[in-house]
């Protein structure tokens, strides 16, 4: 099975990444108690938290180099941005992620490369994402809890409905739908991966030859302590 990912994956916020509407259920100012992970409180103590699987998904995409975007039509963009800025994603000690610390927490907003958070249609959001990134719509996958936002499919964006919010199962289903919709892109990615492996193999054999020439006896010396 291919592991090819879209180059850009976007998420709605309300009832997709967290279980509320920030423009009706939340009263600013927002605050966080110390370094408490995945929990922000509003003026009256109401909490904002990501769904359980969201941190893991965001870490995975960042490690893979996928562009992560938020596309939200909320009428309270400042509150949404503040929530992303205050929310901390728990980082499990011992896990390895590219360019990430081994301990501590990271701000959620640091995971997002693009933020399209304002009260307009998702069509407008994705046209901006296309303009800013230069990526074709075929390289974009969008998760949202509202069926009406399937309109982005008219642009060529793959749309995955998540009526119960984002979880690992829905995420994998979305990836599968994108791959099925773009077998040509998946095939190109697979061929590129094979070329990279072949290149590494060739380079490896060249290094072996260098070692043989250097030692003059056909024996490859290593630093294996065993």
Cα 113 to Cα 94: distance, rounded to the nearest angstrom: 25
| Cβ count near 139 (within 10 Å) | 21
* Cα distance from N-terminal residue to C-terminal residue, the chain: 35
> Which residues does 53 contact at the CB level (< 8 Å), separation at least 6?
166, 167, 168, 171
67-72 vs 8-11, strand pairing mode: parallel
Cα 194 to Cα 224: distance, rounded to the nearest angstrom: 28
Cα 194 to Cα 225: distance, rounded to the nearest angstrom: 32
Q: Of 14, 42, 144, 145, which residue is the catalytic one?
A: 14
Cα 34 to Cα 29: distance, rounded to the nearest angstrom: 16
Cα 111 to Cα 106: distance, rounded to the nearest angstrom: 8
> Is 224 one of the catalytic residues?
no
163 contacts 180 by C-beta, under 8 angstroms = no
Q: Of 12, 42, 144, 145, which residue is the catalytic one?
A: 12
For residue 153 the two structure tokens come to 């499919």
Place of tokens 């072996």: 208
> Is 14 one of the catalytic residues?
yes
Which sequence positions are flagged as catalytic? 12, 14
């Amino acid at each position: 099975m291919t592991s090819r990912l879209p180059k850009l994956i976007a998420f709605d916020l309300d009832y997709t990444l967290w279980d509320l509407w920030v423009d009706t259920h939340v009263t600013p100012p927002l605050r966080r108690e110390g370094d408490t992970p995945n929990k922000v409180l509003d003026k009256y103590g109401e909490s904002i938290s990501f769904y359980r699987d969201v941190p893991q998904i965001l870490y995975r995409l960042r490690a893979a180099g996928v562009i992560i975007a938020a596309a939200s039509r909320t009428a309270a963009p400042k509150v949404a941005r503040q929530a992303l800025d205050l929310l901390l994603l728990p980082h499990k000690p011992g896990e390895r992620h590219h360019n990430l610390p081994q301990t501590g927490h990271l701000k959620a907003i640091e995971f997002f490369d693009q933020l399209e958070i304002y009260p307009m249609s998702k069509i407008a959001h994705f046209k901006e994402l296309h303009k800013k990134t230069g990526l074709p719509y075929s390289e974009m996958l969008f998760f949202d809890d509202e069926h009406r936002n399937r309109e982005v499919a008219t642009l060529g964006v793959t749309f995955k409905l998540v009526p119960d919010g984002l979880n690992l199962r829905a995420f994998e289903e979305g990836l599968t739908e994108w791959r099925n919709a773009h077998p040509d892109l998946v095939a190109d990615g697979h061929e590129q991966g094979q070329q990279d492996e072949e290149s590494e193999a060739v380079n490896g054999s060249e290094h072996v030859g260098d070692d043989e020439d250097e030692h003059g006896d056909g024996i490859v010396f290593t630093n294996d302590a065993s």
